[in-house]
Amino acid sequence: MLPNTEIAELLAQRAEQETGILSRAFRRAARSAFLWPEEASDLLLQNRSLIELRGIGPFIETQIRRWINKPPRRTKPVPAIRFDFVSLAEARQLVAARPAWHDKLRGDLQMHTRWSDGSGTIEEMADAAKQRSYEYIAITDHSKTLKIAGGIDERALKKQGAEITKVNVSGESLIVLRSVEMNLNTRGEGDMLPASLTSLDLVLGSFHSSLRIAEDQTQRYLAALRNPNIQILAHPRGRIYNYRIGLNADWPRVFAEAVKLDKALEIDCYPDRQDLNVNLLKVAREHGTRISLGTDAHHPWQLGFIELGLAAALKAKIPPERIVNFLPVLDLKMWVRQKRDRGAPRQ
C-alpha cells in the first residue's frame, strides 16, 4: 500500500519536473494529500474515483493510479522542507486506535475568526466546537502589527471580549476563552500593551517575520519564552510544507527553558504546518516540556485538524499530563494565573 504521505512526496517531485500550470497543479495536489480523509490506495480497492479527493483531477488521478499499482523505488530522501509531516488519513487511524487518548481532549487553543483573517464568527467556531463535545476553545485572532492578517488592536480586542461574553452567556456546554495570537519581534517582544492582556484567559506568542534566517535563533526563542505576557509559544519553527523550512535553534536548551518557566510550546495542527513536528516533540518529551494543541483553524470545519496534533503527540509519546488541552478549564486558568504571578514585577 502506498500511503498518502508517499504520494504527496511523489507529487512534489513531479511538480519540480514540470513547469507552468502543470507544476502548480502537482504542487497543490501534494499539499492537498495531507488533507485527504482516506488513503488513496483504499479508495482504489473500493473501486472509487480519486477525483473525490481534494486537488485531484483526471490527469493527476491517472498518474497516482500508476504509482499505486506499481510503487516507484525511492532514490533520494525526503528533503527537510517536506520531512516529518503526518497525513490526516494516518492521523485518524492512529487516534481511532487509541480512543481513550482522544477522550482526554478538552479543547482547542488556537483558532481565528472574522475579527482577523478567519471566515467564521465566534459563535460559529463555538458551535463547531460543541459538535466535538469540547469543554473550551480559545479565540486567538492575530494582533495589530500583522496587518496582512487583519490583526486587531487593543480597542478591537476589548470589543471582541464583549462579544465572547455574550456567546458564553448564551451557551451552556462550552466556555470560549479570551485570547490573542500576539505577534513577536526577533527580541521576543509583543506588539500589544501589557495592560490589554491581563484580562485575557490566555496569550499565545508567535513569530511571523524573519523566518528564513539560517543562523541559530536560540536567543530569540529564549527571549520569547521569558516574555512575561505569554504562556504558549505558537507554531515555534515557522515551517510550512514545501515552502519554508523554518528556524533553527538549540532545541534542548529551548525546551529546558520552557520547563524552567513552566510554559508550553505548541503543536500547530494545520496540515501545512504541523509545528512542532514529531522529531522535535520527542526532544520536548525528554525534557518534560508542556505541549499545547491548536488547529490554527480559519474556518469552522478546520477544527478537525486537531487529529493531526493528537497523532503527533501520540507518535512522540508525549505524556498526557504534559498536554495543556487535557486540563480541565479551571486548572488551565490556574496554570495561566501562576505564570502571570511569576512574571509580575515585584512591589
Averaged pLDDT of the chain:
95
The domain ranges of the chain are 4-78, 94-343
**pLDDT tens digits for 174-231?**
999 999 999 999 999 999 999 999 999 999 999 999 999 999 999 999 999 999 999 9
Identity (one letter) of the amino acid at 129?
A: A
Question: What is the reported pLDDT for 327?
Answer: 98
Q: Taking the domain 94-343, which CATH number applies?
A: 3.20.20.140
Sheet holding 264-268, edge to edge: 181-184, 204-207, 232-233, 264-268, 290-294
- Look at residue 303 in the predicted model and tell me its pLDDT: 98
pLDDT tens digits, 239-280:
999 999 999 999 999 999 999 999 999 999 999 999 999 999
Instruction: Choose the CATH number for 4-78 among 3.20.20.300, 1.10.150.110, 3.30.750.24, 3.40.50.300.
Output: 1.10.150.110
Query: Across residues 55-73, what is the average pLDDT?
Result: 95
> What is the SS3 string spanning 298-346?
CCHHHHHHHHHHHHHHHHCCCCHHHEHHHCCHHHHHHHHHHHHHHHCCC
pLDDT tens readout for residues 289-314: 999 999 999 999 999 999 999 999 99
Give the pLDDT of residue 345: 56
Give every CB contact of residue 292 below 8 A, 6+ residues apart in sequence.
Answer: 109, 110, 232, 234, 264, 265, 266, 267, 323, 324, 325
Q: Which amino acid, residue 159?
A: K
C-beta separation of 58 from 51 below 8 A: yes
Q: Is the per-residue pLDDT at 47 higher than 60?
A: yes
Q: Hey, how many other C-beta atoms are within 10 angstroms of the C-beta on 280? A: 23
Is 94-343 the same fold as 4-78? no
H runs (alpha helix) in 153-217: 154-170, 194-197
Q: What is the pLDDT of residue 171?
A: 67
pLDDT in the model for residue 173: 86
